[in-house]
């Protein structure tokens, strides 16, 4: 399936994007390992999060739903999982695989984690290395690629791990394994990353400490069932924040958006570029800050993106690259090596598409330089990457000719209903068979 986007249009009205994907994954994982029932609302019914649900069902956890974003999870306790009969298929979800690797390393059974063609090309060495230091036994394909066979030993030892690069997934993997380890497990991150795991562990009654950039916990604790209300995903909101910023006549309000301080890099960066975004109705829901965001068209300018903002916006850069393409002047991104190992090499994938649309850019090992200009039209490859697909879809708002965004099936991994919601807001988009 492809997106066919006509040039022009603007984004107006009030919309609510789907629930936060990171929190949806974690609510299932911790709810399954808790004692008692966990009720979840706002759950993202995308393929990635559903792969996590399926994995825990395969390990003996009773989960009702999702039904209109609601889940009921009967927790089995930290040591209540049973060996799955088949390999656990994570689809396209790197979050599921990396976090589950940490949880499975502490079990007393063997399990295999696999995924689709794209996921099986993604290196998992960054989680295998610290887990092996903790005593886990893991087999993988060359270069640490899936499938991963995790030979549960039932005994892990706590370690201190210095993250070589800022990564919430690696940090979370080590901390989740630490619940099964003897002694204390701690992680130092070179820059702050999203802290949903730490917040949610505390919400389930597991003590997590953070001091001077070191996050730590003691093994052998327990989780208690909880009630979780998941806010709208700021990563999904990012496409509309950029789209409204670049399209004249836009005035769009995004409702109930998660405003976790470790996730708002996209707002900070757009603000530096001159975007007109108002934060309204700030409140706290289930321990997470939430707000409504009103965004109106504004002329953007190219900037040097501060490196301290990079980990806070790592998933939003494909959309931000479109903002840079529409800005006056040059935008420079450095310190973003992690973009190379997402669902695609997002630096290379976006650079290729921008070139197709007539935007000058220069790829660097850890980033990109983008010269603002006039977006043209053409056919753009997504490399099976949902965020690449949605980013080039919103580019149509400022394009001078139609854009065909190829291979958009993977959009459902994070944003089911994107095409319908975007069209409702004013994007001139329709879906068609991808020949």
Contact 375, 350 (CB under 8 A): no
**What is the residue whose two structure tokens read 């820059």?**
191
The size of the chain, in residues, is 435
Contact 434, 407 (CB under 8 A): yes
Q: Which residues, at least 6 apart from 118, have a Cβ–Cβ distance to it below 8 Å?
A: 92, 343, 344, 384, 385, 410
Nearest-10 Cα torsion for 134, 151, 149, 199: -50
Of the candidates 261, 262, 176, 251, the one whose C-alpha atom is nearest the C-alpha of residue 219 is 176
Dist. CA 399–CA 372, nearest whole Å: 13
Dist. CA 340–CA 133, nearest whole Å: 25
Dist. CA 302–CA 361, nearest whole Å: 13
Q: Which residues, at least 6 apart from 239, have a Cβ–Cβ distance to it below 8 Å?
A: 319, 390, 391, 393, 394, 418, 422
- Active-site residue (options: 315, 366, 385, 404): 315
Q: Is 315 a catalytic residue?
A: yes
Dist. CA 236–CA 387, nearest whole Å: 9
Hey, which residues are catalytic here? Answer: 315
């Amino acid at each position: 399936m492809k997106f066919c986007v006509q040039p022009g249009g603007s984004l107006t009205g009030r919309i609510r994007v789907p629930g936060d994907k990171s929190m949806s994954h974690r609510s299932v994982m911790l709810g399954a390992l808790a004692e008692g029932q966990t009720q979840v609302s706002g759950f993202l019914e995308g393929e990635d999060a559903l792969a996590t649900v399926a994995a825990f069902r395969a390990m003996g956890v009773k989960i009702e739903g999702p039904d209109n974003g609601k889940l009921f999870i009967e927790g089995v306790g930290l040591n209540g999982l049973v060996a799955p009969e088949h390999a656990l298929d994570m689809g396209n979800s790197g979050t599921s695989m990396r976090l589950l690797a940490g949880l499975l390393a502490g079990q007393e059974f063997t399990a295999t984690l696999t995924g689709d063609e794209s996921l099986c090309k993604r290196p998992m060495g960054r989680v295998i290395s610290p887990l092996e230091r903790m005593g886990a036994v893991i087999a993988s394909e060359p270069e640490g690629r899936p499938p991963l066979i995790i030979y549960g030993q039932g005994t892990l030892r706590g370690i201190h791990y210095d993250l070589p690069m800022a990564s919430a997934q690696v940090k979370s993997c080590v901390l989740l394994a630490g619940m099964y380890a003897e002694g204390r497990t701690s992680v130092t991150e070179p820059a702050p990353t999203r802290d949903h795991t730490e917040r949610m562990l505390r919400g389930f009654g597991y003590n997590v400490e953070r001091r001077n950039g070191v996050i730590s916990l003691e093994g052998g604790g327990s989780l208690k069932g909880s009630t979780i209300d998941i806010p709208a995903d700021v990563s999904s909101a990012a496409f509309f924040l950029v789209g409204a910023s670049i399209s004249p006549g836009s005035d769009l309000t995004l409702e109930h958006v998660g405003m976790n301080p470790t996730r708002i890099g996209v707002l900070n960066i757009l603000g530096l570029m001159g975007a007109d975004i108002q934060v309204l109705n700030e409140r706290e829901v289930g321990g997470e800050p939430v707000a409504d965001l009103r965004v109106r068209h504004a002329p953007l300018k190219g900037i040097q993106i501060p490196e301290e903002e990079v980990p806070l916006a790592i998933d939003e850069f494909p959309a931000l690259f479109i903002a840079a393409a529409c800005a006056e002047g040059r935008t420079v991104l450095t310190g973003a090596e992690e973009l190379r190992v997402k669902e695609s090499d997002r630096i290379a994938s976006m650079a290729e598409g921008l070139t197709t649309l007539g935007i000058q850019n220069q790829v660097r090992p850890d980033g990109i330089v983008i010269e603002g200009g006039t977006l043209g039209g053409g056919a753009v490859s997504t490399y099976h990457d949902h965020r690449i697909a949605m980013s080039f879809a919103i580019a149509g708002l400022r394009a001078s000719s139609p854009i065909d965004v190829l291979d958009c099936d993977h959009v459902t991994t994070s944003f089911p209903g994107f095409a319908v919601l975007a069209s409702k807001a004013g994007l001139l988009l329709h879906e068609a068979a991808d020949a």
